[in-house]
Amino acid sequence: MSVLIVKNIKSEGPGTIEDYLKGKDIPYSILEIFDCKAEIPDLKEFTHLVVMGGPMAVYESDEHAFLSYERAIIRVFIKSGRPVLGICLGAQMIADALGAKVYPGGTQEVGWHNVDLTPEGMQDPSLSTLSVDKASYAEVFQWHGDTFDLPEKAVRISSSEAYRNQAFRYGGNVYALQFHIEVTPEIIREWFKDEKGVDIDKMLQQTDRIFPEYYKRAMNFYEKIFS
């Protein structure tokens, strides 16, 4: 097994995903695709693809040309039947690569929020691991303002009042999550240290309360994804 992790911006790294891979001695490579000097590796060398988040939008490919390469990489992995995990922008890129529309959602979700797990999500062997006490919801970290239509043949596995499509599965091994399963307290502190209009102290207090169990659920999720 070998995992390719695609980063869209320096600050949005793999967080607890990297913790899991290191803990299991699973080889991985990080492609900082936003860097014009980055070389695209031989995709045949990798069994899994992880696409991280970023502040840019899927529909801003003219401004961020690397998104076109990223879309092509996603399609190669999906076409070859290899597992793909997309986080936030990564999820939107998967939706786009599958032909669905991505667009502004009309409101922002920022901070810790509950999302519902659909009946299909509760039955999903991977997503169901995020359930809080086996209830049909998960407490997750959000920071996004865009959304997407559900791709054809995809299964909606999570939803919220503000965003109907919080997560979907395509086939048996492609997962797209709007929320940030990978965050750590350090990542959250770094993201919001200069962000105006956010009560960072309150957010970090919530993080300290939620993170220990969140971390365990994330590890259980990765155990399924990288099996």
Give residue-wise pLDDT tens across range 30-82. Answer: 999 999 889 999 999 999 999 999 999 999 988 999 999 999 999 999 999 99
Report whether pLDDT(118) > 90: yes
- For the entire predicted model, the pTM comes to 0.96
What percent of the chain shows pLDDT beyond 90? 90
Residue 192 maps to which CATH number?
A: 3.40.50.880
What integer pLDDT is reported at residue 222 of this predicted model? 98
Q: In sequence order, what are the residues at sequence separation of 6 or more whose Cβ sits closer than 8 angstroms to the Cβ of residue 40?
A: 31, 33, 69, 73
Q: Could you tell me the pLDDT band of residue 198, with boundaries at 50, 70 and 90?
A: confident
Q: Could you tell me the pLDDT band of residue 197, with boundaries at 50, 70 and 90?
A: confident
What integer pLDDT is reported at residue 14 of this predicted model? 98
| Distance in angstroms (rounded) separating the CA atoms of residues 112 and 163 | 14
How many structural domains compose the chain?
Answer: 1
169, 175, 164, 176: which is closest to 153 by C-alpha?
169
Bridge partners of residue 115, in order along the sequence? 138
What integer pLDDT is reported at residue 208 of this predicted model? 95
Structural domain boundaries enclosing 90: 3-225
Report whether pLDDT(216) > 90: yes
CB atoms under 10 Å from CB of 47, counted, come to: 15
Report whether pLDDT(133) > 90: no
| Distance in angstroms (rounded) separating the CA atoms of residues 101 and 91 | 12
Report whether pLDDT(160) > 90: yes
19, 16, 53: which is closest to 214 by C-alpha?
16
Report whether pLDDT(139) > 90: yes
| Distance in angstroms (rounded) separating the CA atoms of residues 76 and 84 | 10
Provide the pairing of β-strand 102-117 with 154-159: antiparallel
Q: In sequence order, what are the residues at sequence separation of 6 or more whose Cβ sits closer than 8 angstroms to the Cβ of residue 134?
A: none
Report whether pLDDT(6) > 90: yes
Q: Which helix (H) or strand (E) holds 119?
A: helix 119-123
Report whether pLDDT(203) > 90: yes
Average pLDDT of the segment spanning 183-212 = 92
